[in-house]
Amino acid sequence: MAQGYFVTGTDTGIGKTWTTAALMQYFKNQGKRVIGMKPIASGCEQLDGQLRNADALLLQEHASVALPYQDINPYAFALPVSPHIAAEQAGVVINIASIVKTYQRLEKKADIVLVEGVGGWLVPINARQDVADLAQALNLPVIVVVGMRLGCINQAKLTFAAIKQNNVACKGWIAACVERDMLMLNENIQALQSATNIPLLAVFPNEDKLDVIKFSEKINKTL
């Protein structure tokens, strides 16, 4: 079976998709067959009569294996809101067991499967479960994307604490520079390194366009 990783973040819009694509390229550089999966996506648009998410399409594009869109993104919703609300408005209940079954199909087709979460670690996906429950059900180690901006130390420490409380293994974290010219960037990164024994895997710069080769080369050879 493939090795899998679950990519979560300290918030929404902090670079999870670019990180997932860069990690996909990192493993492709090692000669591995790689698939990226975004099980749940809100804020989707109609494309050829079907709801499609730009982030999920990016992961589909960078995969080593050609797959139907529905396997990459089983739950696609139009409203750009929290997934449990988007699903409710669409008359859908997000079923974790169904996502696990899809993942199990994908892991037979690749060496590495990267699963991108939605929002942060405790974002609800239905009336009783959140992203943490999905990661636990998939039984995957987690990689945390920390959006480097004012307030990130608190957000990151809360996220790390919640992951530990959920008894989920955390493989490492990535500093994504979402705030251009952040004051005391290095000092913030050092503070987080001092606060946790979780390895820093990479620092991704603030860029207008994703260059997966450039980003993948910034990942430490520790995965």
CATH number of the domain enclosing 16: 3.40.50.300
CA 72, CA 201: separation in Å to the nearest integer? 25
CA 40, CA 117: separation in Å to the nearest integer? 7
> For the stretch 150-180, what's the b/e string if a residue is b when 16 or more beta carbons lie within 10 angstroms of its beta carbon?
eebbebbbebbebbeeeebebbbbbbbbbbe
| CB atoms near residue 66 (< 10 Å) | 7
Question: 117 in a domain, yes or no?
Answer: yes
CA 40, CA 38: separation in Å to the nearest integer? 6
Question: 136 in a domain, yes or no?
Answer: yes
Catalytic residue among 38, 101, 157, 221: 38
157 among known catalytic residues: no
CA 142, CA 173: separation in Å to the nearest integer? 9
Question: In terms of C-beta density within 10 A (0-12 exposed, 13-18 middle, 19 or more buried), how is residue 42 classed?
Answer: buried
Question: 210 in a domain, yes or no?
Answer: yes
pLDDT at 107: 96
Residues 6+ apart with CB under 8 A from 43: 53, 77, 78, 79, 80
Domain count, the chain: 1
Question: 195 in a domain, yes or no?
Answer: yes
Question: Which stretch of DSSP H or E encloses residue 46?
Answer: strand 45-47
Q: What is the pLDDT of residues 23-51, one digit of tens each?
A: 999 999 999 999 999 999 999 999 988 99
Q: What is the pLDDT of residues 75-93, one digit of tens each?
A: 999 999 999 999 999 999 9
* Amino acid letter, residue 33: R
Question: 198 in a domain, yes or no?
Answer: yes
CA 173, CA 202: separation in Å to the nearest integer? 7
Domain containing 163 equals 3-216
pLDDT at 223: 81
pLDDT tens, the chain, 223 aa long: 789 999 999 999 999 999 999 999 999 999 999 999 999 999 999 998 899 999 999 999 999 999 999 999 999 999 999 999 999 999 999 999 999 999 999 999 999 999 999 999 999 999 999 999 999 999 999 999 999 999 999 999 999 999 999 999 999 999 999 998 899 999 999 999 999 999 999 999 999 999 999 999 999 877 8
Through-space distance between the first and last CA atoms of the chain, rounded to whole angstroms:
17
Question: 223 in a domain, yes or no?
Answer: no
